[in-house]
């Protein structure tokens, strides 16, 4: 396995609609899938789409956030890993939610994006088996973000407002200040 280079928006591949993956092709893509999983994990990401590693293919990997017990400790094996091939959103809730997103292709920046609260995704897994998955909340957000990548769309195209875009440093600094203010005003 290998850690792959993640491309940034200067590379036009990130803006191209990706090509569908055929069944025969999928057999040859198993090493790429393993490398994408390894690359996502090495970058502490929750998702990675093939165009982000320079391959214009409708293929992405997603790993959900861990769950925590009452003491705040991570529950072992509470993360789910998905390999999605030719995924399509076949239903989306009318309800939307704003949330803060980043992207491994846009390192150092975050922005506020509105996403459907729940989605149903029709996809194939890494072996070509058809699956229908339903997600809500943060996991639904990750799937929408990754499927956007397969259509050449980045989260920066979908900001709730142009000014709702920050460097990580700015965002987390403000966040700390706000929490400090909250603590002060709670007295």
User: Which parts of this chain interact with Zn ion (CB under 5 A)?
Assistant: 103
Dist CA 80 CA 149 (whole Å): 20
Backbone angles phi, psi at 85, to 5 degrees: -125, 130
Smaller CB distance to Zn ion: residue 104 or 133? 104
Question: Does the annotation mark 146 as catalytic?
Answer: yes
- CA triple 55-64-86, angle to 5 deg: 35
Question: Is the alpha carbon torsion for 42, 45, 48, 52 positive or negative?
Answer: negative
Least CB distance to Zn ion at residue 60 (A): 9
Question: Is the alpha carbon torsion for 90, 27, 50, 99 positive or negative?
Answer: positive
Smaller CB distance to Zn ion: residue 100 or 128? 100
Smaller CB distance to Zn ion: residue 10 or 71? 10
Smaller CB distance to Zn ion: residue 109 or 117? 109
Least CB distance to Zn ion at residue 104 (A): 6
* Catalytic residue (choose from 63, 101, 112, 146): 146
CB closest to Zn ion, residue no: 103
Least CB distance to Zn ion at residue 76 (A): 27
Least CB distance to Zn ion at residue 143 (A): 12
Mention every residue, 6+ apart, whose C-beta is less than 8 A from residue 3: 35, 38, 39, 42
Dist CA 20 CA 81 (whole Å): 21
Retrieve residue 156's tokens.
């920066």
User: Could you list the active site residues?
Assistant: 146
């Amino acid at each position: 396995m290998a850690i792959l280079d993640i491309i940034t928006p200067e590379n036009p591949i990130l803006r191209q609609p990706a090509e569908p993956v055929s069944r025969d092709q999928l057999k040859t893509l198993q090493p790429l899938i393993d490398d994408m999983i390894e690359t996502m994990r090495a970058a502490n990401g929750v998702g990675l789409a093939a165009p982000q590693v320079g391959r214009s293919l409708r293929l992405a990997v997603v790993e959900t956030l861990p769950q925590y017990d009452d003491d705040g400790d991570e529950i072992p094996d509470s993360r789910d890993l998905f390999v999605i091939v030719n995924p399509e959103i076949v239903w989306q809730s009318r309800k939307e939610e704003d949330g803060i997103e980043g992207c491994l292709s846009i390192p150092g920046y975050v922005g506020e994006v509105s996403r459907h609260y729940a989605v149903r995704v029709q996809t194939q897994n890494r072996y070509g088996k058809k699956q229908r998955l339903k997600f809500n909340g943060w996991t639904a957000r990750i799937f929408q973000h990754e499927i956007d990548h397969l259509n050449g769309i980045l989260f920066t195209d979908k900001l709730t407002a142009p000014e709702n875009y920050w460097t990580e440093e700015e965002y987390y600094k403000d966040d700390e200040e706000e929490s400090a203010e909250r603590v002060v005003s709670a007295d």
